[in-house]
Amino acid sequence: MRGEPPRLVCTQCTRIVYENPKVLVMSLITFGARLLLVRRATAPQAGMWAPPAGFVELGETMHAAAAREVREEAGVLIAPDELDLHVVSNLPLIGEIYVCFRGVTKSDDVRAGQECDDSRFFAHDEIPWERLAYPQLTSYIDGLFVEIVRNSYSVHYTSADQQGMRVNSYVIGKRRTLVEPTAVFEPHPKGDYFDPTQDPDGGCCDAATWRRR
């Protein structure tokens, strides 16, 4: 239809596949004024540091997925209802929505999971800034420490355009503030996160019959 994006359509049965973004959750967990980071042991960004994060699985709430990732990657137990919404980021270029939570743990005991080879709590001046998995993490982390110092927390919203440029950023419930465009993400091939031939309900549809219209 006019005005709608091109979609995958089977040329034999005209079945349409609606490609929806994946939801990734990340957790900023603190013990006192120290932030939990894990060092990734697998691609992408092996050897680099990041907060615990991963994709939401079927049947999970976002809070439950975030708590699971913290447990699996860092060995830190935190209940889903102990996590508060912190940042929502739209990344249409790579077909993902990032939802970031913040939470507080009463223990600094950690245990790196299978996908990580280290996990620690860092003070602001101890964070390995040059070894963060993604440069965008700097603004997430800095923003949280500012709020820790102020003891005042907000929910933040950011969005990127189709070229991966941040187009706006504002605090929900407060004055909206536009920011200068900055590069956010490099494009990823669409096939990296969608393969219609793996659809169990594909029927007659296979790689030879799909066309984007």
Q: Which three-class secondary structure string do you get for the chain?
A: CCCCCCCEEECCCCCEECCCCEEEEEEEEEECCEEEEEEECCCCCCCCEECCEEECCCCCCHHHHHHHHHHHHHCCCCCHHHCEEEEEEEEHHHCEEEEEEEEECCCCCCCCCCCEEEEEEECHHHCCHHHECCCCHHHHHHHHHHHHHHCCCCCEEEEECCCCEEEEEEECCCCEECCCCCECCCCCCHHHCCCHHHCCCCCCCCCCCEEEC
pLDDT in tens, 38-94: 999 999 899 999 999 999 999 999 999 999 999 999 999 999 999 999 999 988 878
CA separation for the pair 163, 160 (Å, rounded): 8
C-alpha separations of 71 from 31, 62, 98, 113, 156 in Å? 15, 14, 19, 8, 25
Q: Does a structural domain hold residue 11? A: no
Residue 12 lies in a domain: no
Nearest to 114 by CA among 142, 75, 158: 75
Split into its structural domains, the chain has a count of 1
* 2 lies in some domain: no
Q: Which among 5-9, 57-61, 209-213 has the top mean pLDDT?
A: 57-61
CATH code where residue 144 lies:
3.90.79.10
Task: Please indicate, yes or no, if residue 176 is contained in any of the structural domains.
Answer: no
106 belongs to a structural domain:
yes
Structural domain contains residue 93? yes
Residue 99, domain extent = 20-151
Residue 75: closest CA among 38, 129, 123: 38
Of the candidates 143, 155, 121, the one whose C-alpha atom is nearest the C-alpha of residue 51 is 121
pTM: 0.74
Would residue 103 count as lying in a domain?
A: yes
**Confidence (pLDDT) at 206:** 59
Characterize the bridge pairing of strands 96-104 and 22-31.
parallel
In a domain, 203, yes or no: no
Residues 6+ away with beta carbon under 8 Å from 10: 16, 203, 204, 205, 209, 210, 211
Per-residue model confidence as pLDDT tens digits over 162-193: 555 555 666 764 433 333 434 333 333 333 33
- Judge whether 95 and 84 are in contact, CB under 8 Å: no
* Average pLDDT value for residue range 17-27: 92
